[in-house]
Amino acid sequence: MLCTFILLVVSFLVNSAKRPSFPPSCVGAAHEFLALVDGQCSYCRIRETNRTYCILYLRSNMLKSKTFVKKTRSGGVMKIVREHYLRDDIWCGSEICTECKQESTVLQKDSCIESDLCSSPHYLVPDTNVVLHQIDVLEDPLIRNVIILQTVLQEVRHRSAPVYKRLKDIIHEKEKHFYTFTNEHHRDTFIEREPGESANDRNDRAIRVAVKWYSHHLDTAESDGLKVVLITNDQGNKEKAEESGLLVYKCEDYIKSLLANPELVDRLALTNDETKDISSSKVLFPEHLPLSRIQMGIKGGTFLQGTFRASRDNYLEATVFVQGEGEETTEVILQGLHNLNRAIHQDVVAVQLLPREEWVAPSSVVLLDEREAKDEDDTEEEEKEKAMKIIADDAARKPTGKVVAIIKRNWRPFCGMLNSSLIKESTRHLFTPADRRVPRIRIETRQAAALLSQRIMVAIDGWPRHSRYPHGHFVRSLGAAGDKETETEVLLLEHDVPHQDFSQAVLSFLPKMPWSITPEDMAVREDLRALTVCSVDPPGCTDIDDALHCKTLENGNFEVGVHIADVSHFIRPGNALDLEAANRGTTVYLCGRRIDMVPELLSSNLCSLRSNVERLAFSSIWEMDDKANIVKTRFTKSVINSKASLTYAEAQLRIDDTNMNDDITNSLRGLNKLAKILKRRRIEKGALTLSSLEVRFHIDSETHDPIDLQTKELMETNSMVEEFMLLANISVAQKIYDEFSECALLRKHPAPPPSNYDILNKAAQSKGLAIHTDSAKALADSLDMAKVDGFPYFNTLLRILATRCMMQAVYFCSGMDSNFHHYGLASPIYTHFTSPIRRYSDIMVHRMLAVSIGADCTYPDLTDKHKQSALCNNLNYRHKMSQYAQRASVAFHTQLFFKSRGIVNEEGFILFVRKNAIIVLIPKFGLEGTVFFDNKDKTGPKLVFDEEGPSLMVEQHIFKIFDKVKVTISLDDSNVQHQKIRMSLVEPEIPGVSVPVPEVGPMAKKPKLDV
Amino acid sequence: MAGLELLSDQGYRLDGRKATELRKVQARMGVFAQADGSAYIEQGNTKALAVVYGPHEMRGSRNRTLHDRAVINCQYSMATFSTAERKRRPHGDRKSTEMSLHLKQTFEAAVMTQLYPRSQIDIYVKVLQADGGNYSVCVNAATLAIIDAGIPMRDYVCACTVGFVDETPLADLCFAEESGSSLALALLPRGGQIALLQMDAQLHQDHLEALMDAAMTACKGVSKVLDEVVRRHLQEVSVLTGE
């Protein structure tokens, strides 16, 4: 009825004596105000022709004003007045409705969810708490035709951002038929808060009014007995709804009544019915304080707010990182179940510091929560707690505290496995998450037998005071445990890596095949097809994003070019493909599997700079003299035709082979020569060369099982390519920063705080060496000097330790930060430009560079520093998670490898010494493992731990860092979920501790390598 | 706590309007007997009074006299009680001075000043309650007051504030919506000439066109309402004078 979108709302201020002239039939009629719609009075239906636009003379009750008081930041009280317009053009969204003039409907006519309780078709209206707690159920494909009221949506938005996001995702999904009804602005469903009524009560009433309106509205001849059902768990609300004649069910009752899918019951979140349980068992945990006291406490300094990080190794210990003034953070240690007080990894908590004399040192014990679910006595726990508390001197003691309240829960669905229950028919089970920092969760399920050997997902619902474990519910099953597919799925889910197939919307933005370079492309690009360009990559690489060339100019200088795949030509800003890539952030490389950031057509074909095909590139071309000084730099979009795709080894062979003198080889030699100079200069400036062991699996081509593994070798050509990539990145960083000083996407690597170097210093001192860590240059120099005679591997070990002292390099937006320095590379400015196929940051940098050379146009989000900053946060998060996922994947494949190899004896070095264990690194496999000295069942050997060394005396033998040991490696699959590599000591021989040298098991399979 | 959702997925704004819809406008002309022209306007919760004196002889410093046209003198002020927190200085601060200048520029473009050489026209506007779009509401009020005073103008001057949220232009912003980028446009709607265009936020140029279109449409919407008000006022007056 509002045909034009300008709703002009006019009413009269004139008093009754001066009322304007109405059309004759309206004057004196029963209505006091004139309602004209589309030039027609909606009461008298008389058409008035001289009005061309549509005016709605609203009745005076269509405008409400919302007044409320708000506390301001400075503590004052502010009165806020807002207008609130009511409308009569909000439609019900149902197919059966003939009254509403809606263009498209969401809710289906035959909305059939078969249920015992309600046999006729019905629409569901959940209230806020049902949405908040039972979002897992709502997400099920079975639940369709749901009306989400605006009141509910707003409350959910206010109370939980993650649930709000999930709810919005459901609403957007067409097959779910979720309709949002803007009841707060609807003329008939808006209600005002009554005096003395709380905000919650008002909202409940608003929901009831809306449901009532729907029932009446849809109660027409065509409706076929269609019902509207209110779903609530609130007893009071339910009673009131029944009083006013609404159809209302409790969530549990309704879900249980569903005929189609009885498994859905398992997904119901357990509502903690405090009254029922409180008598049944004793209270285990202290109460959480109310929010008001927490706020006062934090302001007054008695409580500290921070993020709770559970310890990976010890389930009774955790740290809370408290953000202090500015940059500094303090760590507070929490020990013991009581002090952890139901906080779960990643929650934001309030902690209270204990008195100084109760402070403890972080224990170096490795403790796993492995006891049976049933035993409720706490004696064992207390003993363990006692065992942890060592009498440490004052220096080692750290601030210690206890959790007094949880400010924000940060629960997500957890992957893991069900523990087998002692009683077969029991419906209550314990679930062990894959992440060891998360406690076990108690769930109720009737399909336990089927789920036992499977990996499942479980969400936490709550953690009552009298329960040893949090309560949760089953979400879905991922597949059989130990299965390679399932395990990969688990590690992708646990690391939040988006890995679904690309949607049709995303694929629709791909270029149409067959694709070729058009004359329009050629017109705006430099034609570099004649150049001798080649690419050098690891073997088996299909997403080639960089290629190089080098030629001698007439003046004796060199022209060096780095050509990068022009991905930003194919991915245009703002479309679905771009958004998907921005969300994924990076390609994730797992062993034997790659999770692409962009669809394969781009990553392995159109963008990949393969040899002997014409490809679009973004080139950075320098003129350099023979001392590798840059004379001139330019950037251009280009077309190239790579002459060869080489592996590092092939390129190295060509350079070394004096018989070869073709263009490609000469070009490589030129590059290699310049790269050496560049590298030397960079190291002189203080760039660090660190070390970490990377392993490569040889994967069986059919079964995809790992059959051999070797550490990656580095050749001269690796560093050649790396040098030019660094050079390109630095040049581009400078260019885009000059152009976009406020919003350039850069990468920085902060210098680590001095305390990070403690381990390194201690380690070096044990060999009588000193490491200077005042600057990157000093560190690099002293690492070079650190050599021990007869121990060639020492230097590598030291570099591995140094790597662990470093901070994480991060992306940031230049307008939001002032410190750009890259510590590791000793460069004042740095960014990522050279791998746009696998990193989204590079795509952004490409776009900025394209704008700054006038090759492409700018777009709004590119210059918005807040959006850039948000993007950087996502990229950093994805980058971190992808690294963790890669490590987890390597670990999983290492296990598979040792499973097939049986028991192996290897030499290794001690990397760290703990209170009851040593951590050993096996250089051959790049593998790290823990050798435990205490034993669960029997009394262990005598252990004396020295904090200062650090050293550990086992019986008579003293273990120190860097000691060489011999261990046997085998797979411990006693716990299916946490299969781990078990190492036991072989040499030095300690009676009662070390094991005899076992026979090396026969190889399970003849290895056939596919390199 | 999440911030305000300025535009819901269903296309409704905080107060229930759609993106292009204006607030409820109520206006009255001739509210004061002693001034030459006066008007009171309410645009949603923003309320303003405008009073016009003149054209009359130059007062105060005569050296400002222009020999070919009239001088327009504007003064903008906000009532101490117009905002949620009481304000000490109702006028004379930098913001008010700037606003006065903007108003002056706007009306120099619209009033036919060349008809009154060597004279002066005073326009005083006071915001009684501020809830977004103060400049626009003042321009609309002043337009009505000038018409009430019988001073010839090229056209109505209609003003409206528009903002940009979630890639969508919003017309006639209320205070809560004004935090982001907002653009104020004063338009002579018949010819589509711009009397004043002001924006002091960052906006990408790609969005400017959409925003301008929305502003123009909104101003034309306002002009219809103002026209209605003027016609009604004349009708009433003519009834009272017995013509």
Which residue reads 């490795």 in tokens? A366
What is the nearest CA distance from A722 to chain B, expressed in angstroms?
Answer: 37
Per-residue model confidence (pLDDT) at position B126: 95
A572 and A610 assigned to the same domain: yes
Per-residue model confidence (pLDDT) at position B116: 93
In a domain, A948, yes or no: yes
A671 and A552 assigned to the same domain: yes
**CB-based contact (8 Å) between A53 and chain B?**
yes
A403 and A518 assigned to the same domain: no
Cβ distance A158 to B1 less than 8 Å, yes or no, reads yes
Segment A390-413, tens digit of pLDDT: 555 556 677 888 888 888 888 888
Q: Determine the Cα–Cα distance for residues A536 and A675; give it in Å rounded to an integer.
A: 14
Element (H, E) at A584: helix A576-584
Contacts of B224 in chain A (CB under 8 A): 8, 53
Q: B13, B21, B208: best mutation site toward chain A, by most A Cβ within 10 Å?
A: B21
**CB-based contact (8 Å) between A157 and chain B?**
yes
CA A705 from centroid of its chain's CA atoms = 28
Question: Contact at 8 Å (CB) between A186 and A86?
Answer: yes
Mean pLDDT for the stretch of residues A813-821: 86
The DSSP string of B230-243 is: HHHHHHHHHHHHT-
Segment A939-987, tens digit of pLDDT: 667 777 777 767 777 777 788 778 888 888 877 776 666 677 777 888 7
Per-residue model confidence (pLDDT) at position A375: 42
**CB-based contact (8 Å) between A9 and chain B?**
yes
E strands along A376-440, which residues?
A: 401-408, 414-418, 428-433
Q: What is the mean pLDDT of chain A?
A: 79
| Parallel, antiparallel or unpaired: strands A55-56 and A8-9 | parallel
Mean pLDDT for the stretch of residues A648-664: 88
How many structural domains does chain A have? 7
A210 and A243 assigned to the same domain: yes
Question: Contact at 8 Å (CB) between A423 and A461?
Answer: no
- Residue finishing a domain among A392, A408, A424: A408
Using alpha carbons, select from A168, A176, A188 the residue that is nearest to residue A144: A176
**CB-based contact (8 Å) between A103 and chain B?**
no
Residue A202 corresponds to which tokens in the numbers above? 């008002």
Q: Is the pLDDT of residue A555 over 70?
A: yes
Cβ distance B236 to A863 less than 8 Å, yes or no, reads no
A837 and A921 assigned to the same domain: no
Cβ distance B18 to A7 less than 8 Å, yes or no, reads yes
Mean pLDDT for the stretch of residues A504-509: 86
Q: How many CB atoms lie under 10 A from the CB of residue A555?
A: 8
Cβ distance A82 to B10 less than 8 Å, yes or no, reads no
Find the closest chain B residue to A162 by CA distance: B2
Find the closest chain B residue to A164 by CA distance: B2
Domain with residue A205: its CATH number is 3.40.50.1010
Residue B96 corresponds to which tokens in the numbers above? 């008010």
Q: What percent of chain A has pLDDT above 70?
A: 80
Look at the alpha carbons of A736, A742, A748, A751 in this order and tell me if their dihedral is positive or negative.
positive
Mean pLDDT for the stretch of residues A803-814: 87
Cβ distance B26 to A11 less than 8 Å, yes or no, reads yes
**CB-based contact (8 Å) between A326 and chain B?**
no
Domain with residue A363: its CATH number is 2.40.50.690
**CB-based contact (8 Å) between A882 and chain B?**
no
In a domain, A45, yes or no: yes
Q: Determine the Cα–Cα distance for residues A84 and A311; give it in Å rounded to an integer.
A: 50
A401 and A305 assigned to the same domain: yes
Domain with residue A448: its CATH number is 2.40.50.700
What is the nearest CA distance from A4 to chain B, expressed in angstroms?
Answer: 10
Cβ distance B84 to A11 less than 8 Å, yes or no, reads no
Contacts of A8 in chain B (CB under 8 A): 22, 25, 221, 224-225
A182: nearest CB among B10, B131, B228: B10
Element (H, E) at B215: helix B205-241
Q: Determine the Cα–Cα distance for residues A435 and A881; give it in Å rounded to an integer.
A: 14
Q: Determine the Cα–Cα distance for residues A800 and A811; give it in Å rounded to an integer.
A: 24
A730 and A848 assigned to the same domain: yes
A818 and A957 assigned to the same domain: no
Cβ distance A82 to B2 less than 8 Å, yes or no, reads no
In a domain, A312, yes or no: yes
Mean pLDDT lowest among A239-253, A515-529, A680-694: A680-694
In a domain, A705, yes or no: no
B18: nearest CB among A5, A80, A171: A5
Cβ distance B217 to A185 less than 8 Å, yes or no, reads no
Cβ distance B228 to A157 less than 8 Å, yes or no, reads no
Tell me the Cα Rg of chain B: 18
What is the nearest CA distance from B3 to chain A, expressed in angstroms?
Answer: 9
- Residue finishing a domain among A891, A911, A929: A891
Segment A261-290, tens digit of pLDDT: 767 777 777 665 444 444 445 677 888 888
**CB-based contact (8 Å) between A78 and chain B?**
yes
Per-residue model confidence (pLDDT) at position A786: 79
Domain with residue A905: its CATH number is 2.40.50.140
Q: Is the pLDDT of residue A19 over 60?
A: no
- Sorted by sequence, the CB contacts under 8 Å of residue A93 that are 6+ apart come out as A100, A102, A105, A106, A107, A147, A179, A181
Look at the alpha carbons of A737, A739, A740, A742 in this order and tell me if their dihedral is positive or negative.
positive
User: What does the DSSP 8-state code read for residue A784?
Assistant: H
Contacts of A14 in chain B (CB under 8 A): 28, 232, 236
Segment B52-87, tens digit of pLDDT: 998 999 887 778 889 899 999 999 999 999 988 888
Residue A565 corresponds to which tokens in the numbers above? 């795949």
Mean pLDDT for the stretch of residues A337-344: 86
Number of cross-chain residue pairs from A and B with Cβ atoms under 8 Å apart: 104
A916 and A885 assigned to the same domain: no
In a domain, A277, yes or no: no
β-sheet bridge partners, residue A827: A822
Segment A917-945, tens digit of pLDDT: 788 888 777 778 888 776 655 566 777 77
Using alpha carbons, select from B36, B125, B34, B114 the residue that is nearest to residue B78: B125
Q: What percent of chain A has pLDDT above 90?
A: 17
Per-residue model confidence (pLDDT) at position A387: 55
A439 and A391 assigned to the same domain: no
Q: Which residues of B touch A (CB under 8 A)?
A: 1-2, 5, 8-10, 12, 14-18, 20-28, 40, 44-45, 84-85, 131, 174, 176, 202, 204, 206-207, 217-218, 221, 224-225, 228, 232, 235-236, 239
Q: Please name the residues between 169 and 208 in chain A that touch chain B, using a CB distance below 8 Å.
A: 171, 180, 182, 184-185
β-sheet bridge partners, residue A745: A813
β-sheet bridge partners, residue A953: A944, A958
**CB-based contact (8 Å) between A859 and chain B?**
yes
Per-residue model confidence (pLDDT) at position A1011: 31
What is the nearest CA distance from B13 to chain A, expressed in angstroms?
Answer: 10
Q: Is the pLDDT of residue A501 over 70?
A: yes
Q: Determine the Cα–Cα distance for residues A227 and A207; give it in Å rounded to an integer.
A: 16
Residue A659 corresponds to which tokens in the numbers above? 């018989």
Cβ distance B2 to A161 less than 8 Å, yes or no, reads yes
A10: nearest CB among B9, B84, B228: B228
Mean pLDDT lowest among A414-428, A842-856, A892-906: A414-428
Question: Contact at 8 Å (CB) between A849 and A752?
Answer: no
A544 and A680 assigned to the same domain: yes
What is the nearest CA distance from A9 to chain B, expressed in angstroms?
Answer: 5
A556 and A452 assigned to the same domain: no
Find the closest chain B residue to A408 by CA distance: B1
A10: nearest CB among B8, B26, B44: B26
Q: What domain range is A365 assigned to? A: 291-408
- Cβ-count burial of A940 within 10 angstroms (0-12 exposed, 13-18 middle, 19+ buried)? middle
In a domain, A98, yes or no: no
- Residue finishing a domain among A891, A913, A948: A891
Cβ distance B9 to A6 less than 8 Å, yes or no, reads no
Per-residue model confidence (pLDDT) at position A49: 30
Contacts of B84 in chain A (CB under 8 A): 78-80
In a domain, A630, yes or no: yes
Mean pLDDT lowest among A75-79, A619-623, B89-93, B141-145: A75-79
Find the closest chain B residue to A155 by CA distance: B2
Tell me the domains of chain B and their CATH numbers. Answer: 25-241 (3.30.230.70)
In a domain, A102, yes or no: no
